[in-house]
Amino acid sequence: MLHRVQHAAAIGWFALVAACVFWKVAFAQQVLYWGDIMLYFLPMTAFARHWLAQGVLPLWNPHTLFGQPFVGNPQEWLFYPSSLLLPLLHPASYLSWNAVLHLWLGGVGMWMFLRTLGVGFQPALLAGTAWMLCGAFAPRAQFPGMFQTIALIGWLMWAVERVLQTTNVGRVAVMAVVVALLLLAGHAQVAYMASLLATAWALWRMIRGGWRPLLPLLLGVAGGLLLSAAHWLPMLQLLHETPRVNLSVWGANRFPLRPEQIPLLLVPDLYGAPWQGNWLGRGNYWEVAYAVGVLPLMAALASWKVRSEARFWLIVAALSLWLATGASGGLYILAYYLLPGLKAFHDPARWLILTDFALCVAAAIGWEHLRLSRKWLLLPVALIMLTLLWSWQGANIIEWAARRDVIRASRPETVSSTLVVSTHAVSVKGCWRATGAAVLALLVLRLAPSRRWWVAMTLLLLELLPLAMPANPTANMATFTQPPDTIRTVARAGGRLFVPNQTPMWREYVNYVDYGASTPELLRRWQRMLGSNIGMTWEVSEASGYEPVAVRRAVMHYVNLALEWKQSTQDSQLLRRLQRSGIGAVATGETADSWRVFALPYPPMRAWVVGTGEPLHARNLSPQQVEIAGVPAGDLMLTDTAYPGWRVWVNGKPQRWHIADTTFRCVTVAQSPSLVLWRYEPDTFRIGLYLFLLGCAFAAGALLFTCLAGKMCQYG
């Protein structure tokens, strides 16, 4: 009975913490908007919702870069269970409440794993709270797929640990479901890192306790792969068609944790904070943030001599921190060449996710053994020395770091003396605050054990909540319910929108230094520019668009058009080429103030006959079906991305198609007039769906067998 009460109390507590972090979502009816949410995920979610509400599963996205696969996109979660909420909520509300849900799930998952390890109620609750509020988790809500996947790391470790402790069919089936959810959650990189962590933990446990659980673990992984095959099989095909899979070591080293940023573990605002408008650290804030709180850090360090499991987690924390430093640390270069698949991912700082997870686990193990000793005096002494150094030379260090940042290198004027002074003032206050927290932590250790935990939880909340709450800016919901007037311009022109240069828009509204004001006027002005997939929210198709994992041939065609536009915007040949690429409107300007959206002089031709240039009307029956009626004899060009899985029927008979102009789909029509129907039916999705059904059958059978076997034992 006590066990159930503790579970209920923990679940309720984590819900309260999640509601506090996202209090503007939970209580003020606002929505998350900043960063990748507005740039990418809000338009993508609006697209998915539009079709799911009509009972259509969108396999293809016709709105970005002449068309792009939607099923199998490694940053989408079409088959993840939270997608079931999409038809019920506005996309902006869905993304916001989804963040609340997954922050709560992250805390519960950590709690479940720690309790499985035998950690007590209070230490598990403290560590779960630290995990929810840590720098590697809470600030990442602006990247929903990553946020969902991070939330499942604790659940994955819980499922693996249960199989390691007691092997039965039911636990293997549960592990398969968790593995599948991890792969479906929408971020391949975090799923990759979590899988490495779970593998290392399982190997370490089996080396010490025997290899008997190896086969059940492999069956759990295999079951997870079967259940998620409809996502990862098309994803493998997309990765084959994109330039993203083989990044150079320096291309992958985009956002590492720089050596001068390591103190962010204790002083999160050492280089300012973007919600205060003065972040001058290299990279963006949420990539390098990783503070877990002073007391959890002390408890983690104290755990080294407590249990052998704690040493595993501290080693994981040290190695992942080392990997996070990227090429400058050296270990990342070695891992780049030795770990299969690592070349497909950039931003080494994301290894800090494992650093914080491991520190929180070690903190839970070591909490009850944390005692006051003289060695802990070194922590406030070190922070006082850092504070004095920062008061003296901090401004110079901050300016030095800012001017070496790759984002600001092309705009040195953004690093003004006024901004440096503002950042320095915030950072010095942060140093004194961290010093005060370290002193208070020592005082907490002087308290009686019955009081210590309560005061420690209060200190943790006071230390991390003020950083977690503003880390994900919110805006008024009404901002995202009305389309901008420029949508009508594109609608009248017809065809696709072409944005040859998005730099002015990014510079004005995507600023890592300052999250900026969230006023409706500013955000509506940003939406009017129709850059970065914004038009997709209202079903505008683009020849451009923001797609991190894009089809190679479509990207190259867009880049070539953008280069030609830069050379001459009035060239008649270029205008004709834009017309024959299905482009009807352009959004361009030198600055945000001079930005304009206008129709081209020639009507767009999405479908046309090669040779005669006769335009034809192409009608989308669904995202993956295009119908063209009255087609004359000849080669029919459809200016949609050529991609494996598209099939074509002419008058009901299947035909072979070929690639034209290095990018588009073309089919030869023998008789006139003809009805041409294109359908996107990838074999990878069909096979993945069969494997999913097979996995469901195995999981259901395993669970049924477990239930029946349990009843037989009960009555036997």
What are the 10-residue block averages of pLDDT along the chain, 716 residues in total?
81 96 94 89 93 92 93 92 91 95 97 95 95 96 95 97 90 93 94 96 93 93 94 92 81 89 94 90 90 95 89 96 92 91 89 97 93 89 94 91 76 80 93 94 89 92 94 90 90 91 80 81 87 88 89 92 84 86 90 87 90 88 92 91 94 92 91 91 94 85 69 49
Which H or E run contains 668? strand 664-669
Q: Report the first-to-last Cα separation within the chain, whole angstroms.
A: 26
Cβ atoms of 559 and 662 within 8 Å: the answer is no
- Strand-pair category, 583-588 with 496-498: parallel
Dihedral angle over CA of 83, 87, 89, 94, nearest 10 = 20
User: What is residue 1's predicted lDDT score, i.e. its pLDDT?
Assistant: 55
Residues 6 or more apart from 295 whose CB is under 8 A from it? 126, 363, 370, 441, 444, 456, 459, 460
User: What is residue 413's predicted lDDT score, i.e. its pLDDT?
Assistant: 66
User: What is residue 410's predicted lDDT score, i.e. its pLDDT?
Assistant: 59
How far is Cα 10 from Cα 124, in angstroms, rounded to an integer? Answer: 9
Q: Rounded to 5 degrees, what are φ and ψ at 275?
A: -75, -10
Q: Which residue has the tokens 């909420």?
A: 85
Neighbours of 322 (CB within 10 A): 18
User: What is residue 613's predicted lDDT score, i.e. its pLDDT?
Assistant: 84
pTM confidence score? 0.94
For CA atoms 357, 361, 364, 369, the dihedral sign is negative
How far is Cα 394 from Cα 387, in angstroms, rounded to an integer? Answer: 9
| DSSP assignment string, 69-97 | E-TT-TT--TTSGGGGGGGGS-HHHHHHH
User: What is residue 710's predicted lDDT score, i.e. its pLDDT?
Assistant: 58
| DSSP assignment string, 508-566 | HH--SS------HHHHHHHHHT--TTGGGGGT--BSS---SS--HHHHHHHHHHHHHHH
- Neighbouring-strand partners of residue 631: 674
- Nearest one of 586, 691, 686 to 180, comparing CA atoms: 691
Which H or E run contains 704? helix 683-715
User: What is residue 374's predicted lDDT score, i.e. its pLDDT?
Assistant: 87
**Burial of residue 411, with CB atoms counted within 10 A of its CB: 0-12 exposed, 13-18 middle, 19 or more buried:** exposed
Which H or E run contains 630? strand 625-631
**Burial of residue 584, with CB atoms counted within 10 A of its CB: 0-12 exposed, 13-18 middle, 19 or more buried:** buried
Could you give all domains of the chain from N- to C-terminal order, each with its CATH number?
Answer: 482-604 (no CATH), 610-681 (2.60.40)
How far is Cα 175 from Cα 196, in angstroms, rounded to an integer? Answer: 15
